[in-house]
Structure 1
Amino acid sequence: MRYVSAYLLARLGGNENPKEVDIKKILSSVGIDSDDALVKKVVSELSGKNIEELIAAGREKLASVPSGGAVVATTASTTAAAPDSKAAEPAKAKEEEKKEESDEDDGDMGFGLFD
């Protein structure tokens, strides 16, 4: 990702066709060592291509990727909707154990006010 970012920075800076040296220079300016093979691959893959079109194509591909947020929300609402279910019982037990432990932990911790 750092190599692509350095390539894009070079393009934003006005360099229409960044070379390997340009990417290495950008990365070294912020203290990042570069791998010659990866720099060469990024330059060869992006050389002569329209960056805006590549970004637009990438966004379209990412739009089709499902995210896990909906699954988590469904699971949480199912558990909340059925509090008497067997799935909710272990959670209640764990909560009670945590409460009991926290009560014990609130002791004097070896320091007494009037000792």
Structure 2
Amino acid sequence: MSEWSGRGKVRARTIAGGVELTIDGITTQARYYKPLVYEFFRKEFQLRPRYGEFEVELIMEYVGETPTLDLDNLAKALLDALKGHVFVDDSQIARLLCERRVGERDRISVRAVKREA
């Protein structure tokens, strides 16, 4: 695993077969995340998108009241933001796990790994 990159709300690092990123904070507006992640990849963490099937794990951690954010909308926004950076197209996602759970702080973690043949 590499060191974390990023100075703002979004941080990322390469891992075996893919990438892992965290986004600090939670908003009920899923569309907020797409430009945030897109700009991060464009300016701070350039990757060459890969072909093949991917497994993606998305975890939303929160403190306090359960957010009313729909996980499916969040997943769609984040997968669209990763498209062209981690994988060529989100149709390459062969397995998607989305989870909402109580955590130590409000954040979203995404792990995208190329599936082995």
TM class, shorter-chain normalised? Answer: under 0.3
Computing the radius of gyration over CA atoms, which structure comes out larger, 1 or 2? 1
Select the structure that is richer in helix: 1
Instruction: Name the structure, 1 or 2, with higher relative contact order (CA <8 Å, separation 6+).
Output: 2
Q: Which structure has the highest strand share of the two? A: 2
TM value normalised by structure 2: 0.25
Q: TM-score, normalised by structure 1?
A: 0.25
